[in-house]
Amino acid sequence: MIDPFLMRVGLAAVLVAMTAGPLGCFVLWRRMVFFGDTISHAALLGVALSLATDLPVTAGVLLVALAVSVVVLQAGGRFHHTDTVLGVASHSALALGLVSVSLLGGVGVDLMTYLMGDILSVGTADLFQIAIGGAVALGLLVWRWKGLLVASVDREMAVAHGFAPRREALIFTVMLAVLVAVAIKVVGALMISALLVMPAATARQFSATPERMAVLAAFCGVLSAMLGLFVSFALDTPTGPSIVVAALVLLLVAVGGRWAAAQN
């Protein structure tokens, strides 16, 4: 019989990674890596605000992440280049979050928990949230798959062929916000985008179609999570960063393997 604590920790990491992988493919395809960073930084501001208002952290994170992404989507390209808007939003959200938390000083919040993640503190309720959030995000992804894919290939083409790329972009933002909200406790705000980007990049090495890349990205994510957890337990290293290091190793092995195969 597996220890229930280990079971919980493992399941949490695996569920988060499994959701982040396929979502991360779209982050890469749509060149939204910086957007992922912005949402996770916004999440930190969400944590601060929920603590100040006694709102559940997940709800606060979800709301702020959504609000920031909608602002970015609307402002991007209108006032400044989207990159500029993202940079402003990303760093402001992070700074505002840190400042707010320090102003709340008396509450005794360990911000490191939300920056780096603390998977060992994951309880049954957290696990339920992760499972539900992951199911919602992946469900939306499967539901909107075709439209989102077409919108990521070419905007005008998508509209001409009867799709609505703006709506798809908005729904995708919701998926990301949901993922960040449930994952922040497990991997931490600073590491979430890594889990989006790296397994997807690894999967690209072995994929000729988008569908295959999405499935493989989920698989690579899960593998990274399990390897990272194992290393984290064995060497007593922080869990979130360990998972990211595992994802990096997988990516390097994949790229190196491909390169070696191409030499022969």
Partner 1 sequence: MSGETLVRTKGLTLEIDGRRVLSGVDFHIDAGEIVTIVGPNGSGKSSFLKAVVGALVPAGGGIWRRPGLRMGYVPQKLHLDPVFPLTVRRFLTLTRRPAAEELDSVIARLGIAPVLGQQVAGLSGGQLQRVLLAHALVGKPDLLILDEAAQGLDQPAVAGFYHLIEELRREMGCAVLMVSHDLHVVMSASDRVICLNGHICCEGTPTVVSEAPEYRQLFGYGTEGALALYRHVHDHKHEEGEVCQHD
∠53-57-61 over CA atoms, to 5°?
100
If binding is defined by CB under 8 A, does position 83 make contact with partner 1?
no
List 53, 209, 263, 264, residue binding partner 1 (CB under 8 A): 209
- Residue 83's nearest CA partner among 46, 38, 27, 44 is 38
Assess 35 for contact with partner 1 (CB under 8 A): no
Spacing of C-alpha 32 from chain mean position? 12
Chain centroid to Cα 61, Å, comes to 13
Binding track, positions 40-79, relative to partner 1; x by CB under 8 A: --------------------------------------x-
Residue 191, phi then psi, degrees to nearest 5:
-110, -10
Pick the stretch among 3-11, 45-53, 210-218, 240-248 that binds partner 1 (CB under 8 A). 210-218
Shortest Å distance, C-beta 165 to partner 1: 8
Of the listed pieces 8-16, 125-133, 203-211, 223-231, which binds partner 1 according to CB under 8 A? 203-211
Structure tokens at 220: 């690579």
Q: Which stretch binds partner 1 (CB under 8 A): 11-19, 41-49, 82-90, 201-209?
A: 201-209
Residues 25, 27, 31, 33: what is their CA dihedral angle, to the nearest 10 degrees?
Answer: -120
- Tell me how far apart the alpha carbons of residues 93 and 87 are, in angstroms, rounded to a whole number: 10
Question: Which CB atom, from 11 or from 159, has the smaller least distance to partner 1?
Answer: 159
Residues 141 to 180 in contact with partner 1, rule: CB under 8 A: 146, 149-150, 152-163
d(Cα 56, Cα 53) in Å, to the nearest integer? Answer: 9
Q: Which is nearer to partner 1, 63 or 255 (CB)?
A: 255
Q: Is 213 in the site for partner 1 (CB under 8 A)?
A: yes
The rounded distance, in Å, linking the Cα atoms of 5 and 62 is 26
Minimal distance, residue 96 CB to partner 1, in Å: 29
Instruction: Specify whether the CB–CB gap between 185 and 46 falls below 8 A.
Output: no
Which range binds partner 1 by CB under 8 A, 62-70, 177-185, 204-212, 227-235?
204-212
